[in-house]
Chains A and B, each alone.
Chain A
Amino acid sequence: MATCNALYTPRDVQNMRVFNYWFLSAMVFFLVATFAIKRELVVPALGWTLTALSVGLLVMGVRAYIVFIRNADELLRKVQLEALALGFGAGMVFMLGWRLCERLGALKLDVSDPIIVMMLVFAVGQYIGIRRYCVKDDEQ
């Protein structure tokens, strides 16, 4: 058997928890704002307020992630930075590559599609990095 969750120190768990709170709050506000504005359920002033709140919470999420990375266990930081590089690279390649494909007649994509690719590849990169440094249970 191998243990793959021994990469987080208690401080990392705490910092990741703070990031998760900000990010989940931002996502909830983002979805509510998107739904309300799309369906015209709110007056413009409230729509702008919901948008500002979503952006503000996202900025706080980014700030919490930077704090997490800066204080992270150094191997965890390496895993995270490699996953970020993979995600960013995949997003760049996808964005530029698909732009050429569009000119050749491929389906036009939404502006948020490269972000989905970035996040998926970031998640896969994290998984690969964490698996690479799993500890066998007999290695005490």
Chain B
Amino acid sequence: MTNRLRVLRAENRWSQAEVADRLGVSRQTVNAIETGKYDPSLPLAFAIARLFALRIEDVFSPDGHH
């Protein structure tokens, strides 16, 4: 799965720590999602999409579909 978390975060000028705080997860979780080392759970994926006021498919997509 690929995601646009790093791009969206940069657009909002948020640090990984800020995003982690807003989502109630650790900074390492945000980093692992951005670098593709970890795919978030469905509730966390929805929370990330909600944070950026986007639909979940605007943030996450299966490999090679962006």
A contact residues vs B (CB 8 Å cutoff): 3-4, 6-9, 12, 73-76, 78, 132-135, 139-140
Contact = CB atoms under 8 A, between A and B. Distances in A.
Chain B interface size, under 10 / 10 to 19 / 20 to 34 / 35 or more: 10 to 19
16 contacts: A4-B28, A8-B26, A9-B25, A12-B26, A73-B26, A74-B29, A74-B44, A75-B28, A75-B29, A75-B32, A78-B38, A133-B38, A135-B27, A135-B31, A139-B31, A139-B34
Interface of B: 15-17, 20, 24-29, 31-32, 34-35, 37-38, 40-41, 44
Chief secondary structure at chain A's binding surface: loop
B30 to A, nearest CB: 9
Contacts of A73: 25-26, 29
A76 B35 CA distance: 16
B16 A7 contact: no
Contact of A6 (B26, B37, B40, B41): B26
Nearest to A134: B28
A72 to B, nearest CB: 9
Given A78-B38, A139-B16, A6 B44 contact: no
